[in-house]
Amino acid sequence: MEEIQEARAELKYARISSRKVKIVADLVRGKNVDEALAIMKFTPKASTEILEKLLKSAIANAENNHGMSHEKLYISEIYANQRTNT
């Protein structure tokens, strides 16, 4: 049985509402990384700049830390949660 490798990137304390981020996240979920970057480049939303930077970080993590091939990378999960003030 082959182990499924996963690379992650996480952003905490972004100064943007999760509702705005979810709009773009829904557009790119399930896409390969090149297609997702192209979608973000041409989507005029406030969160695209933040998500593009985060996606590039996840790609770099996958390539450098896990030895994954860029061509096989896709976005399996992407979500934005609201932080609670405690």
pTM score of the predicted model? 0.85
pLDDT in tens, 1-46: 666 688 889 988 889 999 999 999 999 999 999 999 999 999 999 9
Collapsed DSSP state (helix, strand, coil) of residue 74: strand
pLDDT above 80: residue 75 = yes
CA quadruple 47, 81, 23, 79: dihedral, nearest 10 = 100
pLDDT above 70: residue 64 = yes
Q: Are 55 and 33 in contact (CB under 8 A)?
A: yes
Of 30, 45, 35, 43, the residue nearest 75 (C-alpha) = 30
Amino acid 32: pLDDT? 95
What is the residue extent of each domain of the chain? 18-72
d(CA 24, CA 81): 14
pLDDT above 70: residue 62 = yes
Domain 18-72 has CATH 3.90.470.10: yes
